[in-house]
Structure 1
């Protein structure tokens, strides 16, 4: 497969949709979506370890003086989860769940996942990645009907009606906005084309959101010098 051009990457990002029903729930929601083609996948390495260690140190210093739920952006995400019926004490926003793990060590998964987890913790922003070779149709953020399939390691589940989910033509790719990813589209040691989502609410302004996206892109390109990337901010 020939590498995608910058224009093709941008055209694909234009297909990403945030449904009006989600905007009605949180008018302050913005998504920074990034596509990267030509990635070099593989196991965790020295570069990803360095990023994770720095994120652990940063989170640990902050947690020494405050609780995760006291962070303005994480607090806003807790309220967003409550708005569609999720209990954040049970199903935490992804960034909060990672930050809580930081003092005991963040997971080492693979070089691509490690990079986005490190950026998520360092910037307190929910962030996920999807393998585009296992994606079907355009990504869209919607409120679930409840009958959409969500593939887990143990089988197939279904979201609660009204739950905010990312989905494609084949089913739900991430439940509860940014809580848990399906096994079908997760990044692996074979991923070369990926789509990343950084989720922001009011306390995180566009400049801070773009800074997190820039850090993610720079880290990914540093490990994949021949890769091409494009981004799009979806707001309002």
Structure 2
């Protein structure tokens, strides 16, 4: 199993920095309430009295969505959506301990993080332009087909595990009570992404070790080295 971005995606978005991590041994029984707070504090400090739209990480993703022909205030990257909710409530809902800690790290860095249950992925995940015949399952159980040329996370069975790049993940491979092995992906395109993404991946790896005693394999992908073997 492997993860990669297509050559077309790299050619179109050469400023992309992608951090990836794979690990096993996670479960849904851990408590992370005390571990999310430091990241919430960072997010609150970064937001101050302003808006998440002022952060360079979010501005970069808004520009990308505009380049993809999407209205950035209608379709937001996952970290912007989380920050909007966090700004109003100063917390995020509890979903699954791994999702909860990744969401907390995501708002601290303002960078979208995707978590995939690798047991629910066929063969590989490639971030590529959709053909339009891929199958995407919403969290409500509805089946959708991405628009042609939309950027999706697609596997070998033509399942789309995320739509509109970092906008929305699928139910198909979302973390659940039985999840043990995961692939975690963080992507950014802002000016300091080359420094920030490795720090984010290091933070996630550290939390996996502290909470679950899990050993993670990590990498930062580039156009010349785009593939991560899981």
Same fold (TM over 0.5): yes
Write the distance in 2 (CA, Å) between the matches of 1:157 and 1:90: 18
Q: Tell me if structure 1 keeps the 8 A contact 2:43–2:109.
A: no
User: How many residues in Structure 1 have an aligned counterpart in Structure 2?
Assistant: 219
Classify the secondary structure of the residue corresponding to 1:77: helix
Could you list the runs of 5+ residues in structure 2 that have no partner in the other structure? 224-230
Q: 163, 172, 196: which is aligned to 1:175?
A: 163
Write the distance in 1 (CA, Å) between the matches of 2:93 and 2:39: 12
- Give the deviation of 1:89 after TM superposition: 0.8
Q: 69, 74, 98: which is aligned to 1:85?
A: 69
Matches within 5 A, 1:62-81: 62-81=46-65
Classify the secondary structure of the residue corresponding to 1:146: coil
Q: Tell me if structure 1 keeps the 8 A contact 2:30–2:211.
A: no
Could you list the runs of 5+ residues in structure 1 that have no partner in the other structure? 1-11
Q: Tell me if structure 1 keeps the 8 A contact 2:208–2:216.
A: no
Identify the residue that residue 106 of structure 1 maps to in structure 2.
92
- Give the deviation of 1:111 after TM superposition: 0.7
Identify the residue that residue 119 of structure 1 maps to in structure 2.
105
**Where does structure 1 differ by over 3 angstroms across 4 or more consecutive aligned residues?**
none
Output the TM-score relative to the length of structure 2.
Answer: 0.90
Write the distance in 2 (CA, Å) between the matches of 1:30 and 1:60: 25
CA deviations 1:39-73 (Å, max 9, x no partner) are 2x11562xx22233333332223323322111111
Write the distance in 2 (CA, Å) between the matches of 1:228 and 1:59: 27
Identify the residue that residue 201 of structure 1 maps to in structure 2.
189
Write the distance in 2 (CA, Å) between the matches of 1:178 and 1:44: 27
CA deviations 1:177-225 (Å, max 9, x no partner) are 1111111100012111000001011423322211110100110111111
| 1:59 equivalent in alignment to 2:46 | no
Q: 1, 7, 11: which is aligned to 1:24?
A: 11
| 1:156 equivalent in alignment to 2:140 | no
Matches within 5 A, 1:38-57: 38-39=25-26, 41-43=27-29, 45=31, 48-57=32-41
Write the distance in 2 (CA, Å) between the matches of 1:73 and 1:122: 11
Write the distance in 1 (CA, Å) between the matches of 2:37 and 2:30: 12
Output the TM-score relative to the length of structure 1.
Answer: 0.87
